[in-house]
Structure 1
């Protein structure tokens, strides 16, 4: 259990760090510049807001435990995030809009109702919920909705629920097909998120050549007439394409995700969290682990000093405490 929890947060952090240089790029641009990215291409690999927002969710879980709710999460954001001096380096649009809403006195769900409520900002931070709800998909889905109401609505919440459900099942050692099935079953069948997950399942097995799969996935899932690549259904669809094609191999899964480009750090963080939960910390390449460092608090001062591996262990203890909670 502890190995899977550590693997989950380590996979998230290294995916975040590996993907940052490829963020905003297309697969063809990545291939032209680096060939296939096979490791860190930055001189000082470090995670970004993806890792720190996941740690913020973990902080809320560990503080409020069975009382975790949209209201308690909003209180934590107001106390420790709103009003942060120096800005939020690398912070996403959805989180910035939610912070402004909270500062103006809006509470959930109103705080999550804004023009960017369908971003992947919730999906990138719910891995700790999957750990705390290990094996309990209904709990994971409910807690993801509570966390999401602070900053997201609609498809943004559905995508977070899909990721939380996948991690919750991955924590039991389930096969990759069962992990993806749990993600699909966690969201409304007629949702954009569900459609993207079905596209991922079809595309991932369409060719043994990952470069062919990557081009097909981006062609089918990318929203070209939107100004950024952080739409939740697209990003989650691409992340699960990487997970399925990686078939439980942490290295391959994360590298698949990185080489998709688009919102590469978030896509790789999500894929890494799922694969790491499936396989455990021993499957995360040792040469990547230096990026799994104590959080510097670059985006969120409230996470400064948090150690992802220590947090993973505490989430395991919380999971035992929450057994039987619905």
Structure 2
């Protein structure tokens, strides 16, 4: 799952914010981690001092690893107070190598405004952690890094949904928050031994609410039909974008500029009718790829727009389903070297923490079962008397 996050992120990063048509015009089709960033050749100011391409990951992976470290430190399930303490520490007060900036620095120096808001709201404003979330300022927000919640709740999608909502309400609200819960649930279901992609998708649909549920339903239905007839990638992308348009304010123009001042505000307000687009699209690309890990990521990131986050969601779901078979040795080595981390070691440490948390859950469940059995036994005794 961890390699799936990083691979999908690094695959999508060079083409993020391009439309599908712009990707086709510039690249033909992106199929490798060894891809140059579309902003290469621009000035440092235009690039905001960042570098991408050839395996470099973005904030999606960095915040996923941050969440994993919080679980490792705490050794328990998390809630909004852990967002206020653990995530604030991770993004604002810990210096680590930030690949896009090519230097050690607090992650907040790289984050977009909505993720910086975690620090501003929860530390500088000292608000109640449960009220830290503000709107849907970023299209996918907490969903891009929430996959570890699905791991510590492996095989228990409802618990994963609830914990993701409890934790991420310190970051977002409304349909951005809803998607985080649904994505975590999909990851939890993906870990069920022998589960099918249909079961993962059905779990996501069953637990989703409001516009998120409707959007998933429409994309999934179309994806099944497209898969049956063997539709080409361009037709899949065009169909998905047409269907997601009523739910998502994004469109092909994902950059903010002065021309959008005062115009996009309503689209980012809380809504029961809207959905972020990345999660429904990611589920759709999983289906049209027939559950194939690499094909799903490639199809997703070539669809344009928020490509790195779509890649993360496809990669995490199918990585959790298929396990180590998805990891190409050359890709794993490039990811480690380009980003100065060791994903296998990070995954091992997190696995140890997740296993301990799950074991604790099982022991607590057995204790509750024994207590309930004692109640029933007492009831029977009293009834007999």
Report if aligned partners of 1:10, 1:289 keep a CA contact under 8 Å in 2: yes
Cα 1:285/1:215, change in 2 over 3 Å: farther
* Offset at residue 82 of structure 1 (A): 3.2
Report if aligned partners of 2:75, 2:353 keep a CA contact under 8 Å in 1: no
Report if aligned partners of 1:258, 1:267 keep a CA contact under 8 Å in 2: yes
Which residue does 1:219 correspond to in 2?
Answer: 242
Report if aligned partners of 1:132, 1:322 keep a CA contact under 8 Å in 2: no
**Greater Cα offset, 100-109 or 49-58:** 100-109
Matched, 1:235 2:278: yes
Cα 1:308/1:260, change in 2 over 3 Å: farther
Which residue does 2:125 correspond to in 1?
Answer: 104
Of structures 1 and 2, the one with the larger relative CO (CA 8 A, separation 6+) is: 1
Partner SS for 2:108: coil
Matched, 1:47 2:90: no
Partner SS for 1:75: helix
Report if aligned partners of 1:9, 1:312 keep a CA contact under 8 Å in 2: no
Task: String of CA shifts for 1:151-202, please: whole Å, max 9, x gaps.
Answer: 01111111011110111010114111110111111222xx121122112202
Matched, 1:198 2:217: yes
Which residue does 1:272 correspond to in 2?
Answer: 315
Cα 1:70/1:291, change in 2 over 3 Å: farther
* Offset at residue 127 of structure 1 (A): 1.1
**Greater Cα offset, 276-285 or 201-210:** 201-210
Distance 1:86 1:186 in 2: 35
* Offset at residue 206 of structure 1 (A): 3.4
Cα 1:80/1:68, change in 2 over 3 Å: same
Distance 1:216 1:179 in 2: 22
Partner SS for 2:355: helix
* Offset at residue 319 of structure 1 (A): 5.0
Cα 1:176/1:294, change in 2 over 3 Å: same
* Offset at residue 294 of structure 1 (A): 7.9
Distance 2:90 2:342 in 1: 14
Which residue does 1:24 correspond to in 2?
Answer: 17
Cα 1:185/1:47, change in 2 over 3 Å: same
Task: String of CA shifts for 1:77-98, please: whole Å, max 9, x gaps.
Answer: 3334336766734423321222
Report if aligned partners of 1:27, 1:261 keep a CA contact under 8 Å in 2: yes
Which residue does 2:265 correspond to in 1?
Answer: none
Cα 1:198/1:229, change in 2 over 3 Å: farther
Task: String of CA shifts for 1:98-118, please: whole Å, max 9, x gaps.
Answer: 2211222123222112462x6
Q: How does 1:224-303 map to 2 (within 5 A)?
A: 228=254, 233-293=276-336
**Greater Cα offset, 225-234 or 58-67:** 225-234
Which residue does 2:355 correspond to in 1?
Answer: 317
TM-score by length of 2: 0.73
Distance 1:269 1:194 in 2: 20
Task: String of CA shifts for 1:118-171, please: whole Å, max 9, x gaps.
Answer: 631211111111111110112101110122111011111110111101110101
**Greater Cα offset, 226-235 or 9-18:** 226-235
* Long gaps (5+) in structure 1: 1-7, 298-303
Q: Which structure has the greater CA radius of gyration? A: 2
Cα 1:224/1:101, change in 2 over 3 Å: closer
Partner SS for 2:336: coil
